[in-house]
Amino acid sequence: MSDPRSVFFISDRTGITAETLGQSLLTQFALDCSPVSMPFTDSPEAVDAAIERIEAAGRRNQSRPIVFSTIIDAGLRNRLRRVNAVVLDFFDTFIGPLESELGMESSHTIGRSHGIADPGAYKLRIDAMNYALSADDGAAVRHYEQADVILVGVSRCGKTPTCIYMALQYGIYAANYPLTDDDLLSGRLPEVLRPYRQRVYALTIRPERLAQIRAERRANTRYASLRQCQYETVRAEGLFHQEKLPFSNTTTMSIEEIAAMIIQSRQLPRRLY
């Protein structure tokens, strides 16, 4: 069995953009990777140290490493090009051609939305995040009037991480409500949600996967048993059909995919890009 391919995400800032871009591209390949993030590579000495580390990985694995770079400084970018690796440079690949086409220079600023260069966007992100946390797991139902969307489903089907992702990525006010035993028995949308049914989006999951997830938290309990998970998912999906609620099966979906489905279905406002 061959060693994993070394992949480096290099930036003279946080590296968030390099990681996001690189991971998005790598998902298109069935490749066993060994990822390394190298943020704040912002001096000739730091670039030289990065080159040494990258080439050492190449010699060790006997394959050329892959480097995703969002280094802004032109001198540092030129210095990095000396490395014996496949270098995918954000500026060379995307920014340069766009500058030529648009007839204007870019701001040469990477990942602006992840910092506080835009105080308005930063406040939107923090406010949405605070809302998601305060309205998690059925809490703060009195504030549902503020919600852009309310996720509904059985425990541990992906509601909370999806709410947090939508808050951080898009500034969406997302609440979530876990279906209780009484809700599942009634087969009807809980009364507290009825005034907001146009904002409700439901999530489901295969019982086998649900049991696996629950066992990580509470192994050998009724809560994590396959039988209980089968019961809950069947009853929940019956409720969704009865109430004609849009829903997605999260079993094989990433958080990003779940969020995209919800945003498209409910036509949610994207306050951040």
Instruction: Check the annotation: does 157 bind a ligand.
Output: yes
Same domain, 96 and 188: no
Same domain, 197 and 92: no
Q: How confident is the model at residue 97, as a pLDDT?
A: 84
Average pLDDT value over all residues in the chain: 92
d(CA 200, CA 197): 5
Q: Does any domain span residue 44?
A: yes
Same domain, 123 and 249: yes
DSSP class per residue in 53-78: HHHHHHHHHTS--EEEE----HHHHH
Same domain, 50 and 183: no
Percentage of residues of the chain with pLDDT beyond 90: 75
Residue 7, beta-bridge partner list: 35, 66
Same domain, 22 and 153: no
d(CA 208, CA 245): 23
Q: How confident is the model at residue 114, as a pLDDT?
A: 46
Q: Give how many domains the chain has, as a whole number.
A: 2
Q: Does any domain span residue 160?
A: yes
Same domain, 158 and 106: no
Q: Does any domain span residue 271?
A: no
pLDDT digits (tens, 9 = 90+) for 22-72: 988 888 888 899 999 999 999 999 999 999 999 999 999 999 999 999 999
13 burial level (CB within 10 Å; 0-12, 13-18, 19+): buried
Q: Does any domain span residue 273?
A: no
The pTM assigned to this predicted structure is 0.68
Same domain, 12 and 81: yes
Q: How confident is the model at residue 1, as a pLDDT?
A: 54
| Residue of higher predicted confidence among 15 and 116 | 15
Same domain, 98 and 126: no
Q: Does any domain span residue 272?
A: no
- Mean pLDDT computed over 201-229: 96
Instruction: Check the annotation: does 158 bind a ligand.
Output: yes
Q: Does any domain span residue 37?
A: yes
The last residue of one of the domains, among 70, 94, 113, is 113
Q: Does any domain span residue 58?
A: yes
Instruction: Check the annotation: does 163 bind a ligand.
Output: no
Record the tokens describing residue 58, joined without a space: 């190449």
Q: How confident is the model at residue 104, as a pLDDT?
A: 87
Q: How confident is the model at residue 94, as a pLDDT?
A: 84
The last residue of one of the domains, among 70, 93, 113, is 113
Residue 210 in this model has a pLDDT that exceeds 80: yes
Same domain, 130 and 218: yes
Same domain, 185 and 59: no
CATH number for the domain including 260?
3.40.50
The whole-angstrom distance between residue 185's C-alpha and the CA centroid of its chain comes to 33
Query: What are the φ/ψ torsions at residue 65 (nearest 5 degrees)?
Result: -65, 160
Instruction: Check the annotation: does 20 bind a ligand.
Output: no
d(CA 133, CA 140): 10
Q: Does any domain span residue 250?
A: yes
pLDDT digits (tens, 9 = 90+) for 121-164: 889 999 999 999 999 999 989 999 999 999 999 999 999 999 99
101 burial level (CB within 10 Å; 0-12, 13-18, 19+): exposed
Q: How confident is the model at residue 100, as a pLDDT?
A: 86
Residue 219 burial (CB count, 10 A): 9
Same domain, 105 and 81: yes
Same domain, 36 and 107: yes
Instruction: Check the annotation: does 138 bind a ligand.
Output: no
Q: For residue 212, what are the domain limits?
A: 119-266
Residue 199, beta-bridge partner list: none
- Mean pLDDT computed over 66-87: 95
Q: How confident is the model at residue 50, as a pLDDT?
A: 98
The last residue of one of the domains, among 113, 136, 166, is 113
Instruction: Check the annotation: does 155 bind a ligand.
Output: yes
Instruction: Check the annotation: does 154 bind a ligand.
Output: yes
